[in-house]
Chain A
Amino acid sequence: MIKIEKRNDVPMALYFFTPFIAIVLTILGGGIIFYILGFNPIEALKFYFITPISNLYGFSELLLKATPLCLIAIGLSFCFKSNNWNIGAEGQLTFGAIVGGGVALLFYNQEGFYILPLVILAGAIGGMIFALIPAVLKTYFNTNEILVSLMLVYVSKLLLDYLVVGPWSNPEGFNFPETRQFSESSRMPLLFEGLRIHAGIFLALAAVMLSWFILYKTYLGFQIKVSGLSLKTAKYAGFKGKTMILVVFMISGACAGLAGVGEITGPIGQLHRMISPDYGFTAIIVAFLGRLNPFGIIFASLVVALTYLGAETAQIFLQIPKYTGQVFQGMILFFLLASDYLLFFKVKILSLKKNELRH
């Protein structure tokens, strides 16, 4: 007979250690999969996790991919900590990119120091507005934010599709589904010559610091913490529940919008259909792997970014589809949830003998 019991006291140190266990298990699991597919697992894992970051360019690419993941996950941590399940960051990213990109296109043939800040601001506001839709529907009409935020992802993606093939498509672009190139003044400044890593990383780092301050040092952070642990208590304490829902969604949407605008003004430089390889969804894994802790999220975003890079390298060297990256991301989440379960519950196997004695 198997009995599952809640553990009374879970040590905090272990709570922050289990993500590492999950990562190790993911690597082992990956090795097994590669072995089954007929590859030498050690070799394959080396292509996956070592080769991509063995030179400066690779390291810059890692930071480049980690930047949007980190930004989005930071925003999501506000929602998740307060029991609001915003899973539509991908949509907020896309809408932020549309609004920011729209502003950049307005200035496509102009230069000026004020243009980039305007574009960034527009992106953040775009994401914020888009995140307000599920928030307002939840607070005033009792809808489920999971469904609404998820469905809005497809709305924004279709809107982007329509814009890049229709009204915003490049008049000189031979009907390719893309807009004009943004002007130099709308582009994120590059940090190093020849590398793609850009100033957007400072936005992500600023978001980390700011979110740490808000979550741990302000009344808003305290309210978020209490609401996440017990909605009953939040109600009893008289927190303004509706306002808080709106605020956390706005923060989350703004971060996703910033991530979107960072992509299009950074490595991409225009709007087209494929501005994000599902960063908005993957960031959910990043947020949980980082334990919703701002500094944990930095670490988690680097790990998950590596799965994107590894998948690309593996595609080139091993001729396996780059979607294996998603397999690894899925495994991370699976092993994290599994180790959490074992962390919070203990499984007791009662021997039959003992059982018989009792009767």
Chain B
Amino acid sequence: MATDLRISNISKIYPGCIANDNVSLQFKSGKIYALLGENGAGKSTLVKILSGVISPDNGEVFLNEKNLKLSSPLDAKKNKIGMVFQHFNLFDTLSVFENLNIDATEDNKSLRLRINEILKKYNFSIDLDVPVLNLSAGQKQKVEIIRCLLRSPKVLIMDEPTSVLTEQETEELFISLKKFCDEGILIIYITHKLKEVLSLCDEVAVMRKGKVVSVSQTQNEKVETLANKMVGQKLAKIRKKINISKNKDEIFKVKHLNFYSDDPFETNLVNLNFSVKKGECLGIAGISGNGQNELFQILSGEIITPNTSIIFRNKEIAKLNPKQRREYLMAFSPEDRISQAAVPELKIYENVALNNFKSSNFFEKGLVNERKIKEHSKKILSDFSVNTDNVELKSQFLSGGNLQKLILGRELITAPELLICYNPTWGLDVGAINYIHETLIKINDQEKSTILISTDTEELLKLSDRIAVIYKGKLSKIMPSEEVTPEKLGVLMGGGSID
């Protein structure tokens, strides 16, 4: 029997963010559907609503014209909606069979029989009696899939399934998914990887900022068209005066930056080499999750990688921690402004003291000089027009824009020679964005340099002198930004190549 899943006017609002804004979509069995979008676009929220993990503020879900009340994951199971999450829900120390047996309703013997049937039918090779911790990521995923198949699902939702898989495992997964599809299971495939959409899916819905911005047949799409839909295609109107000059000194130079992680949710970085000139802004574009986090942490000194060379103002700094790098006049503004760049429970002046550079005298002989820190904080609040002058206020009471101003102010008041920032305007309103963009342009005007890691193409085109794209931990060649178009960036961000 054909399956028809319809989502109608789904909305979900979290404090300060609209995760799903009136989303309506229709799916029919026999096809593989892609739900594409950047991190934070609202895909996961939608999927959680479909699987009953959270309930929507508004809107309805219909399966074969029956209005579903999905108020718990159990309801989703009952209605034959299966879900494989990005992070596995398996007990590592139990065997595969025990894991599958946990919520089974039949006796061991017939369950084993049915599992073996599935294994045979789809050519899965998994030993049912080994503990799950001995399995590879791909095999664990298969266990999750088997768990869904045991309930003969009508709908199977896969959330970012390939983020932990090898190329080989990904291929195997695609073959299985196509088989399921042929058998009439409706498949919804959540991803931010464009190539996968093109090679696997029949239809693609693109989400951005909580809204569905396009629904189309994948055969009519290319990597770059999808990338542009995903990140937004508005062309940069204001563009800073390009500040590129061949004979300027290189102030910052990175050689042989390699990073290997055991954590499958981190991205490995492969031989990154780049340099930044005095007064220049180097933009690093990319869809989030392609190694930007790791790159930022290595540049700031939170992660020290062996055999990397980082020269800053003619000194080797690759082995220094963030505090020591600050002494050499570097400054950092991380993506996570709420819980990394500042501590919400701390007062404003205490958050200012986090950037404790030598000449600040915040801590003389190991003692807190509260008066000095407060004076300094007052100056930041007024110089960077934060909308309070109360340094005793806890920073959790600042709005996103004001918090970011405070953080940038804290980092910039030391007059650093190089500022490294990662998504500095993420989630801010237009006024705050403009203020921060102006500030970043001003730094370059004062002959100080910036590295701007951002997932916002518009911002990059507006602020950068040269741009490179990071994709799967590799850096493209660095291009002067006047030669870069959003289309070119789109191709590179999707893993394509340009000449």
Residues of A bordering B, CB below 8 Å? 216-222, 225-226, 229-230, 232-233, 235-240, 359
Contacts and interface: CB of A to CB of B under 8 A. Distances in A.
Contacts of B302: 235-236
Contacts of A220: 366
Interface stretch (B41-49, B264-272, B333-341): B333-341
Contact of A236 (B341, B356, B367, B368): B341
A226 B301 CA distance: 18
B355 interface: yes
A233 B300 CA distance: 12
Interface residues of B, number: 29
Contact of B339 (A216, A233, A237): A233
Given A219-B366, A222-B368, A240 B343 contact: no
Given A218-B368, A233-B341, A238 B326 contact: yes
A233 to B, nearest CB: 5
Interface of B: 69, 300-302, 321-326, 332, 334, 336, 339-343, 345-346, 350, 353-356, 363, 366-368
A217 to B, nearest CB: 5
B323 A229 contact: no
Given A217-B368, A238-B301, A233 B321 contact: no
B366 A237 contact: no
Given A218-B366, A222-B350, A235-B302, A230 B322 contact: no
B355 A237 contact: yes
Q: Is the interface of B mostly helix, strand, loop or mixed?
A: loop
Contacts of B301: 238
A contact face: mostly helix, strand, loop, or mixed: helix
A238 B325 contact: yes
B340 A222 contact: no
10 contacts: A218-B363, A218-B366, A222-B353, A222-B368, A229-B343, A232-B339, A236-B332, A236-B341, A237-B355, A359-B69
Contacts of A240: 321
Contacts of B343: 226, 229-230, 233
Contact of A232 (B336, B353, B366): B336
Nearest to A226: B343
B356 A230 contact: no
A276 B350 CA distance: 40
A217 B325 CA distance: 26
Given A222-B350, A233-B341, A238 B324 contact: yes
Contacts of B69: 359
Given A236-B332, A238-B301, A238-B326, 14 more contacts: A218-B366, A221-B368, A222-B353, A225-B350, A229-B346, A230-B339, A232-B339, A233-B340, A236-B354, A237-B322, A237-B356, A238-B321, A238-B322, A238-B324
Contacts of A225: 346, 350
A229 B343 CA distance: 7
Contacts of B341: 233, 236
